[in-house]
Structure 1
Amino acid sequence: MTTETPDARAAADAPAPGRIVLLTASHRVAPGLLSWPAWQTLRAADRVLCADTRHPQLPYLHEAGVTVEHHVPTAEELVAYCTEGDRTAVVLPSGEGDQRLTDGLARLAGSNRVQMPDLELLPGSYDLPGARFLDLVDVMDRIRRECPWSSTQTHQGLAKYGIEESYELVEAIETGDRTELREELGDVLLQVVFHARIAQEASGEEGDEPFSIDDVAATLIDKLIHRHPHVFGDATAETPADVKAHWLRTKAVEKQRDSITEGIPLGQPALALAAKLASRVRTAGLEAPLPSGDGGIGYQLLALAARAEESGTDPETALRAAARTYRDAIVAAERAGAE
């Protein structure tokens, strides 16, 4: 039986001498925009090490008066340097080039044979919400340049995919499949980024002025701010109905339309089109009787769609739900017949 001496226990409980800090930073945040703890650590460090002479943070460290060594010692050398003099060394990781150092530190720490300094991972900057969208734009740029199929696509050629992806998104919402919802939202977002990337290449001839995804976002931001005066202005809105009224008023001023039917895409599914027309009529308080006569089933469907919209039911959604139930009944009948 081995008895631990008081001196050994005290040594084990004593703070580790020295400190090795791995300072990371997000490539999605502008270089130089480091956190205050990161700058404090850099300024107080005895050594700052970075093997990558093209590291994006280097110009800003130099401007701040921080001396950076472009040689990273071995794990044994760095541990000895920090522990012997109770020193702090900051390492700016540079990808795969630092694998040898990090593996060496892990091996020494796990051996229990070497007195180790404090090992710390210090994030110098964090991704902001939406930061991965920047990666998406970069990926789309490269695909557009290098993919034989993507590089030849046009707005017209992609139009059908926008419709398909929108329907698949609606189906994921209606079935309550959140895994599918996440994927389908991405597919719809791809259409937006793809079209914006194509638009960026417009030559400016025949009135086709180029615009980018940033222009798309800027236009949307301006619209949202303008149509939400109760959020970004002095207007008040206590209920969803108040919000909708604000939206319709500001939209009417923006569009300056001659008819309430303007802006309604006639190419959308017929039930959705009928409900949209009925909604515009009801919202405007307009007396526009439904057509009747020899229109047959079309007029009857139109009347049903208007009734559904008035009662707060989306006829397109209701019919899809009914059709889905009918599909299940068909499958059940097929299985019963096979048995």
Structure 2
Amino acid sequence: MTNTVVLLGSRHDPVLPAAALPALRAAAAVFASDDLDQEYWVALGTTPVTEVDGPVVYLTTDLDEPYARELVAGGAAVVRTPPGTALVGAVSVMDRLRSPGGCPWDAEQDHKSLRQYLVEETYELLEAIEDGDRAALREELGDVLLQVLFHARIAAEHAEPFGIDEVAGDLVRKLVGRHPHVFGGDDPAVRDATTQQHRWEELKQVEKQRESSVDGVATGQPAVALAGKLAQRTARAGLPVDLLPEGDDTGATLFAVAALAKLAGEDPEGELRAVARAFESRVRAAERAARAAGVTSLTAEDWRAYWPA
């Protein structure tokens, strides 16, 4: 029997992969790296690394850690936890922060107090996507995940409780139910990505027993996105384009532009954000150029002089 290194998702990850069980049964000793949360592994009888006769199992989060490297170099098998198990560690950390003896600030929060952070983190994620910043994308995805975990943990304390398992379970049922062509065999209504999107909306309409084509549209989203979504939903329900809002006022004009863009397959919110961010960049560039030339208060002529081509 060879030695085995079990690579865990995080230091707070209490999940052992099933593939590690044979090695654990045959091990002369089970060791855990110092950075692991030992409370999870005490039941396995883990001890500090020592010299023993017979195969060992070593739990770690880092294959580059010295003892892990030594074992792997000596031919040890590596067993990895399957994707997603680190989420268990994230749930455990959130539970600890919210529980007695945890973080006072976390304990004071509720769904309403956290709303601003959900919005902020979502926009920061959007910015990372727009910038193509992979490091920021990874970090901001984690921050959005934190909001989901936080809200689910608070919901578990309600008089009508539900937790992260119920949230995840509902999501799984939704994904499976709205992809019958994947999980239930062929679905003749689905031929490509476009027909799948239509099929998704049809199944959602039946599932939620909606009475209106605009039921479920989040009216709290940015106005340009809202206009586009309403136009898309009503067009699918057969509403003629000439019934879209008309008029010479600013609101009607903006609605018409956003609606027609969405119906043309474009993303009006994304298009407007791209132009706005490009404008922001040009403003900053002009200001930098002016400062470099010793100009601190820009006139209209200065703006034109230093405006990027």
TM-score, length of structure 2 as denominator length:
0.76
Match of residue 182, structure 2, among 225, 231, 234 = 231
Question: For 1:212-231, what aligned pairs fall within 5 Å after superposition?
Answer: 212-231=163-182
Aligned match of 1:66:
none
The CA distance in 2 between the partners of 1:320 and 1:32, in whole Å, is: 47
* Bigger CA radius of gyration: 1
Aligned match of 1:98:
none
- Superposed CA deviations along residues 97-124 of structure 1, whole A, max 9, x for unmatched, are xxxxx7xxx8xxxxxxxxxxx955344x
Match of residue 292, structure 1, among 231, 242, 246 = 246
Deviation at 1:142, TM superposition (A): 1.1
Aligned match of 1:320:
273
- Superposed CA deviations along residues 114-137 of structure 1, whole A, max 9, x for unmatched, are xxxx955344x5311111111111
| Higher RCO (C-alpha under 8 Å, 6+ residues apart) | 1
Deviation at 1:303, TM superposition (A): 0.8
Match of residue 216, structure 2, among 249, 263, 268 = 263
- Unaligned 5+ segments in structure 1 are 1-18, 59-69, 79-87, 96-101, 107-117
The CA distance in 2 between the partners of 1:183 and 1:232, in whole Å, is: 32
TM-score, length of structure 1 as denominator length:
0.69
Match of residue 154, structure 2, among 198, 211, 222 = 198
Does 1:161 find its partner at 2:99?
A: no
Identity %: 44
Closer/same/farther in 2, CA of residues 194 and 74 from structure 1, 3 Å limit? closer
Question: For 1:127-206, what aligned pairs fall within 5 Å after superposition?
Answer: 127-145=81-99, 146-202=102-158, 204=159
Assess if the C-alpha contact under 8 Å between 2:15 and 2:88 holds in 1. Answer: no
The CA distance in 2 between the partners of 1:322 and 1:127, in whole Å, is: 44
Aligned match of 2:80:
126
Aligned match of 2:304:
none
- Unaligned 5+ segments in structure 2 are 33-40, 61-66, 294-309
Does the residue aligned with 1:56 lie in a helix, a strand or coil? helix
Assess if the C-alpha contact under 8 Å between 2:97 and 2:103 holds in 1. Answer: yes
Closer/same/farther in 2, CA of residues 122 and 298 from structure 1, 3 Å limit? same
Aligned match of 2:15:
29
Assess if the C-alpha contact under 8 Å between 1:55 and 1:94 holds in 2. Answer: no
Aligned match of 1:251:
204
Assess if the C-alpha contact under 8 Å between 1:49 and 1:72 holds in 2. Answer: no
Deviation at 1:28, TM superposition (A): 3.7
The CA distance in 1 between the partners of 2:244 and 2:59, in whole Å, is: 69
